[in-house]
Structure 1
């Protein structure tokens, strides 16, 4: 079993406890040290191991920590995690002698990433914002090797996150990246979450490119090379993304949010690419199918290095839409799924409602989504429309019903 950990103060202690437990249960342990989460995934795919555990709190507060668990090359989730809990509570474990081995995998990882990228002739200047998480540990050496001129921000791991929180889905956390892009006249900025599996991108004008827009850029590139490819995006993504995939000869699939669920759907469908609003981007095209922000960023650099256009020009043909960010509404855990069902039932009398993950209600000029969070006692809402006025109307229509059912 491969074991890696992030820079949090509690991570070495958790690593030792886990190592001891695995060894006592007869499992050989391969320690890969302090690495971003995608390096643990890469180890599971490329080394002779039967699974892996990444000890990381990702983008959560510094005093949080957790495990991301792989059985073989698949990530455990849902009922499988509950099964581990039951085994733990039973106290009945196998026993046996086992070994401990420490290996350095970072150089192998970086070499492999570089070998999968084919840069063009254009020399790029790029801001890399590690947010004092783990992303800079791989992004900096990989992008340098690709010939990119870097402006580094907060690429040294520091579990106190002294500069800003490492969550690139929050506009506030991208302000340093935006400022550095404009001050340095950079071609783009790339920001990372705490454990390096999620990406945030800022174009040369300082505009944030959210996950679904980034997916449009990446899907067009893949479909130009692999016409007819299947591409997956989660239910919070813009309708523009699904339409653009189809327009460019691809097959689009709308699926449930959650990196483990997306990975499973990719395997099932043979999809070339998948992505989430949160910045999890999964490449099976020229890659292993897991979410890796350093690799996703490298693919963006590859696209940009082969054109004379500015980043903003590559998406300038998209129809203008108006959307909200993710809106969070407090809702008791025991009621959140029931509320979503009531919303779906209510609107399905008059509208098409997609119920893959929550209720995505289709209006004439846009859509509204209500879904239960996988991890918190909240409902997540998002809205998109073809005008500010239609956006306001759709939002008011759906939010008033949500409030009515929560009361």
Structure 2
């Protein structure tokens, strides 16, 4: 019973593709069958399974669970939940693995699958092994079939999050919450009812069409409704989440958008006040402000690869307690190292209920930098790889100081520029930053020269480009 998956859907951190052209119910069954085979070979017998609010998710989850059962795996079906809730379920329920049917922040026509094992991550070579097992049809033959057990995990997940809430003073915050009609909408009403203060909810109903805006809080255009509501309601701040709830976006009282690396600086300041000298990790897209600020706060900054699985794996290997990405993934060791937008929101509430300074006052002290935001160039896979390789070769030929641990990052004038292929979408991600307008322009011109050298017409393929703005 061999089955071959489209190469386009086998990503570095998960499986993801357009439904049903690239990923359909037949694929889902064989994903479950192959993952269940890997589990069975390791003596694993139980798996938690959840899914997001996309229209195709229930039927994909059904077929995937059948594949798991046909490999002898007992499935605890949790229904619609944010991905981090499934991660927590693996720990709380003491099951052997977890699977989430989700395409995270991808557009509505996509869907996919994320995996984890109880004692390690599942990505990279493991996903390729899953594809190999399916292609060969080398599935395990169980002594008996597994079963599906329906389980409501929502209350347990909410109780888990509230257990980290630390409001000991009378000060109450006014917060705007924007789940973006994604999976967080399944739990946001119940969660906010248990948090003191005033809460304004927008885009808070599950809707697979994402009618209000795309569920990717790393793009400013997707935070415009949140900014508008924060300003209109005079809230202390607003928080937004991506399609499966593992990322957070934050808007201050004045409507200022915080990038993930800026938010990480806030958490790092508090962490380093308790644990001076600790390592705080981010990634190749992070601002120079992040790396310099961690040193000023008494910590050791570490640059690593983009990708939630890459970051989590490095945290375990290096014993790191706090890490984060510009996209809004924030990893706390006290949360099993998982990235959970709602957990990050709880930590943010704790910080500003107890702080003598508002979020607005603290971010107002951030340095004024010129930042392109993310520029995304939509290119075929082969062209993405060629572009990065050509730029690295050209930079080395000119004896430039280059970081190549994930794509390419190069210092230029009073800033930097970087370029890397996305792990989850068909584009190259670019970021350019300078301390001055002149320095920013020099960096951007340097970047454009190197892209032109590879015969790529940048303007012709740009799918999103943010104008330079202040911020770290």
**Residue pair 2:388, 2:419 contacting (<8 A) in 1 also:** yes
Unaligned runs of 5+ in 1: none
Find the counterpart in structure 2 of residue 307 from structure 1. Answer: 355
| CA offsets 1:309-359 (integer angstroms, 9 cap, x no match) | 221211233222111111123444224334323322333434321111111
Question: Which of residues 317, 323, 344 is equivalent to 2:392?
Answer: 344
Question: Which of residues 146, 149, 167 is equivalent to 1:98?
Answer: 146
User: CA 1:75/1:242 → structure 2, altered by over 3 Å: closer, same or farther?
Assistant: same
Find the counterpart in structure 1 of residue 459 from structure 2. Answer: none
d(CA) in 2 for partners of 1:190 and 1:73? 31
Unaligned runs of 5+ in 2: 1-46, 457-472
d(CA) in 1 for partners of 2:391 and 2:310? 23
**Residue pair 1:138, 1:294 contacting (<8 A) in 2 also:** no
d(CA) in 2 for partners of 1:375 and 1:295? 23
Question: Which of residues 217, 221, 245 is equivalent to 1:196?
Answer: 245
d(CA) in 1 for partners of 2:432 and 2:133? 42
Q: How far is the alpha carbon of 1:376 from its aligned partner?
A: 4.1
Work out whether 1:76 is the aligned partner of 2:122: yes
Aligned residues: 406
Partner-residue secondary structure (3-state), 2:410 = strand
Find the counterpart in structure 2 of residue 107 from structure 1. Answer: 155
Work out whether 1:85 is the aligned partner of 2:131: yes
Question: Which of residues 47, 50, 55 is equivalent to 1:4?
Answer: 50
Question: Which of residues 154, 157, 176 is equivalent to 2:206?
Answer: 157
Q: How does 1:328-367 map to 2 (within 5 A)?
A: 328-348=376-396, 349-367=398-416
Which has the larger displacement, 64-73 or 121-130?
64-73
Find the counterpart in structure 1 of residue 76 from structure 2. Answer: 30
Q: How does 1:24-63 map to 2 (within 5 A)?
A: 24-63=70-109
Find the counterpart in structure 1 of residue 464 from structure 2. Answer: none
Partner-residue secondary structure (3-state), 2:335 = coil
Partner-residue secondary structure (3-state), 2:282 = strand
**Residue pair 1:281, 1:293 contacting (<8 A) in 2 also:** yes
Work out whether 1:131 is the aligned partner of 2:180: yes
d(CA) in 2 for partners of 1:334 and 1:366? 29
TM-score, structure 1 as length reference:
0.95
Q: How far is the alpha carbon of 1:53 from its aligned partner?
A: 0.6
Question: Which of residues 262, 281, 295 is equivalent to 2:330?
Answer: 281
Q: How does 1:237-252 map to 2 (within 5 A)?
A: 237-252=286-301
d(CA) in 2 for partners of 1:256 and 1:367? 17
d(CA) in 2 for partners of 1:375 and 1:116? 31
Find the counterpart in structure 2 of residue 206 from structure 1. Answer: 255
Question: Which of residues 277, 280, 284 is equivalent to 1:231?
Answer: 280
**Residue pair 1:372, 1:379 contacting (<8 A) in 2 also:** yes
Work out whether 1:179 is the aligned partner of 2:238: no
TM-score, structure 2 as length reference:
0.83
d(CA) in 2 for partners of 1:375 and 1:21? 24
d(CA) in 1 for partners of 2:277 and 2:356? 27
| CA offsets 1:87-135 (integer angstroms, 9 cap, x no match) | 1122232232323222221111111111123124220000001111112
Question: Which of residues 148, 163, 168 is equivalent to 2:197?
Answer: 148
